Chain A
Amino acid sequence: NAGVTQTPKFQVLKTGQSMTLQCAQDMNHNSMYWYRQDPGMGLRLIYYSASEGTTDKGEVPNGYNVSRLNKREFSLRLESAAPSQTSVYFCASSASYEQYFGPGTRLTVT
């Protein structure tokens, strides 16, 4: 039982490059979330998926897209990376109020 897994752990991109962050959970949770964490800003919600087949914008969705591939997997895509997207990205899943987080992806955009 791995919980929530994220790949990759680290990534360096040049401005304008694209990439997809992968997230998977094995807890059979309906809801999944993508957050970014920046110094002094806490965790800010980028996108979430309340159930398979649905996605909704969070607080900071600009520059990102998501795909809820199936109940287990929720990916986050950066189509054209910008330095402002340098951050630590966390995926989470939940069945109720308590969310369970993955270990994070540290992304640097130069």
Chain B
Amino acid sequence: DQQVKQNSPSLSVQEGRISILNCDYTNSMFDYFLWYKKYPAEGPTFLISISSIKDKNEDGRFTVFLNKSAKHLSLHIVPSQPGDSAVYFCAASNDNQGGKLIFGQGTELSVKP
């Protein structure tokens, strides 16, 4: 069973507008959530994270929101830039998993000039 799901394989946004990427999870034991960004032919790079004791974390143009009751998190990018075009993965972990991350399938974001 897929414990972390990204139901939108792709998203297209105009430059300067907001990009919203969504992620759902099923395991209520997850206590830490991360977003990674991946360009073609490169490894994923860490973008932003949030602990389950918070509901929002902001870093520049990137904000992650966590809704524990809905088991849902989202990544907001404002304003979107063409360089943000990449595949975005959400990931989840809990302290009992020894640092293992469970990844979603990824959402490919395309930001058009």
Q: List the interface of chain A (C-beta within 8 A of B).
A: 4, 31, 33, 35, 40-45, 48, 50, 56, 58, 90, 92, 94, 96-104
| A31 contact set on B, CB distance < 8 A | 98-99
Q: How far is the CA of A33 from the CA of B97 in the complex (A)?
A: 13
Contact A50 B45 (CB under 8 A): no
A4: chain B residues within 8 A (beta carbon): 43
> Which secondary structure characterizes the binding site on chain B?
loop
Kindly state the separation between the CA atoms of A44 and B91 in the bound complex, as whole angstroms.
11
Q: Give residues of chain B (25-66) contacting chain A, Cβ–Cβ below 8 Å.
A: 32, 34, 36, 41-46, 49
Report whether over half of chain A's contact residues are helix, strand or loop; otherwise say mixed. strand
The 7 A-B pairs with the shortest beta carbon distances in the complex, nearest first, are A101-B43, A43-B103, A42-B103, A42-B105, A97-B32, A101-B44, A31-B99
The answer for the CA separation of A58 and B97 in the assembled complex, in Å, is: 11
**Interface bracket on B:** 20 to 34
B100 touches A58 (CB 8 A): yes
Residues of the B chain whose Cβ atoms lie less than 8 Å from the Cβ of A56 = 98
> Given the complex of chains A and B, what is the CA–CA distance between A101 and B49 in angstroms?
16
| Cβ 8 A contact of B49, one of A45, A58, A97 | A97
Interface pairs (18), CB distance under 8 Å: A35-B103, A42-B4, A42-B6, A42-B103, A42-B104, A42-B106, A43-B89, A45-B101, A50-B98, A50-B99, A99-B46, A99-B101, A100-B46, A101-B43, A101-B44, A102-B43, A103-B42, A104-B42
Which residues of B, 73-112, contact A by the 8 Å Cβ criterion?
89, 91, 93, 98-101, 103-106
How many Å lie between the Cα of A42 and that of B3 in the bound state?
Answer: 12
